[in-house]
Structure 1
Amino acid sequence: MSRDLLRFATAGSVDDGKSTLVGRLLYDTKSVLADQIEAVERASVDKGMSTPDLSLLVDGLRAEREQGITIDVAYRYFGTPTREFVLADTPGHVQYTRNTVTGASTAELAVLLVDARNGIVEQTRRHAAVLALLRVPRLVLAINKIDLVGYDEETLTAIAKDFAALARSVGFADEAVQVIPVSALAGDNVVERSTRTPWYDGPTLLGHLESVPVAGPEVTAPFRMPVQYVIRPRAGALPGAEERWGPLHDYRGYAGQVASGTVSPGDEVVVLPGGARTTVAGVDTADGPLDAAGAGRSVTIRLTDDIDISRGDLIAAAGAAPRVGSEIEATLCWLADKPLRAGARLLLKHGARTTQVIVGALGERLDVDSVRFVDPPEALTVNDIAMVSLRTADPLPVDDYADIRATGSFLLIDPPTGGTLAAGLVGNPLTLTSG
């Protein structure tokens, strides 16, 4: 039986212990090979440490090991009998905020660490705002290094209260946030429950990761599927296909991954940006036809009518179609070192479609220190987050990112180099309150 998959990211300030926490998860779940453990133990002895430095299981770059910090996003894969995990360990330095955006962009949950000795700091506010902006559905506040405050309940309760106010102010609902006191170094409440926190009756970190619901808002959202490939198989290419679908020269399917919602035979759909309407004749996979396919499933859709469809088109629910247009108001997370100014001509990649785009006016910039929008800048520099107006050469079917992440997100690309310049979110997904 296949297990659920949870994608989650870690975030937090410098020296809050993110890499050590990830290393502890890998070590205690026996997800590390013996030779890796031996290498870490040797490196720890060379550094004069009496216990293994578990952060070395994550920080793989030479500069990370030399400086004792995380620079790049480190992806790790591990599993338990209950669930499989894809983990993105993101940097804590302010100048690497763009890496946090990258790591959290596909996360269904984020683990935000704070040092029990310091409580909520500016970087905690920054990362909470970024995670809220990216609409990460669930959040864990891991109060780390509780051993250094003597496992004091009052200290941890005060931090949890401060963070609850911060989380509400950026739009997180109370039920979406779980607070867990941990010690990554000693292992308290990471995988095993600690006897030194008898006042804490919540789950361990791993217990919460194993039990938290995986299904995100895209499951109940309207159906969307970007077309990746048009399938016209050759005779003999698919054994048994003619018995299932008839003569192969009559077969035409549209392959892609369901981005949101569910599709079934008989559903009425619209093909965008053209706008032609038709009905789903079948939902096929390599293992046979399906009665229904939900978000995340890769399928081939057959339609009842012959319509001109190509890679980059979007098949969507006819009764709840996205808007189509060339004018987009969006929030940009600028990732490049060179600045962005109004009038720039770039490429925009939305789903499987790439088109030219002109950057219009720059709007308000998010001050991640105060978690407030401030006056528009003259140019966007690396790590800036701001509202922008865009005009595309071709009309695009888009949803607000707050409604459907897959069709509400895009990339801006540098035409000469092909490098990624920015992550874009249609609309303004961040809900700020004074709470």
Structure 2
Amino acid sequence: MRRSQRSWLAIALALAIIATVLCRVAYAAEFDDEDEDDDYYTPPPAPSSGLGSLFSSFFPPPAAGGASPGTPGSGQSGRIGMFATAVAQDWRFDAVAVSVLIVYGVVWWLGRGKNSTFATEWLRTTHSVWSLNFAEIGDGKAHTLMVESDREFLFWASGRKSVVSVLGRLKLLPRHDVVLGFIYNWLFPAYDTLELTVELPKDTGDDFVFSIMSNKLAAKANERFDMTFPRTRTHPTINPATHTLQTESSEYSDLILKDESVKEFFKLMDTKDGPGGLWLEELTLSDVPKIRPVDTEAFDSFKPTLTAVFRLPPSLASGPAKTEDGESDRRMCIKQIEFVLDCVDKWSNEGRGPLLLNDTKSKVKKARDAAFQDIAKKTEEKRKEEQYKSKADLKKAEEERLAQLPLEERRKAERKLAEKERERELKKQRKKGVSRVVM
């Protein structure tokens, strides 16, 4: 048993005991309030087993014939006696509290195991594609799949032509959490997804923005910085009922979507519905970031990136495929990876460099230059605003300092400041070519 699992079970047991104690205290207080006017008290028989026996050993009821708890001279608190009574009589609370925690723990255990099986099966299914195309897989320490949390797993690969690195993130359903899983299913449809972020080398392919998104996601992406460059277009390969195509030129669409392997992927998606009716949520190839850069340096240093988000088949949580549908799901997982690599190869022209026409390139460059100038302008405005604010703060601090000086010293300091101000004005006038200054 892992240390984290042992810790969780220890915490669950502690919570069960705490919950039981709190229930007993609350119940005992209510019982005590109801019987506080009784003149006589007859203790119940002590329980022979269970939590009631445990607590009765710490808080024993008074002996038969003794003074009633809570009465003068009894020497024993009525609340303690009632607590023992509650423990003896209301054992059902013990069973309910412990049962709920046990059920929650079992569900957590099974759900966590299913997510682990899901991630392992995905890696086993796609490992041949990764090992065939990349020289390095994982973190270099025999950890091919890294655990981020109970529902998130990371994958990393590098060492391929026209690719700097690939970061994969498996985001799975919260199968281990009953409450969170219920909220997910109730508020919005949720699916197991794979997000691939492929960092591409600069100057290897053409600069442009090309995106295929689900219609629902495209409606929310209007405020993204990279989506301000392309416009919506149509293409025979893309089904407008499910996906939206956005690109800066139809030349980009033809460059990628006319490839036979890419066409095959979209045909496969049409023949077999994915989770919620979709397999592909997003494919975006862009030379500009999603979020507006804070300065021109961040804009220039951004590397071209391909981002892909796929929905994964739930059957992966059951382990190796045992049916034809399961085999079909695993073929789709392989096709998803191959589809991304095909798009990278088309972007880089199989590593031979850009393909686009000069006219298209000049239009893209013009759009990038305009964006660069706009960012530079706003950066300069922000710098001047901060500079003005800094000068205003310094001036205010100087005025406060002068106000605290004696009258003679303050006048002397003000004359010096006035002379410095006149000298600055003279320098400005000389720069503008003005030879005569009115004093």
Range of TM-score over shorter length? under 0.3
| Largest Rg, 1 or 2 | 2
TM-score, with length taken from structure 2: 0.23
Determine which structure has the larger strand proportion and give its number: 1
TM-score, with length taken from structure 1: 0.23
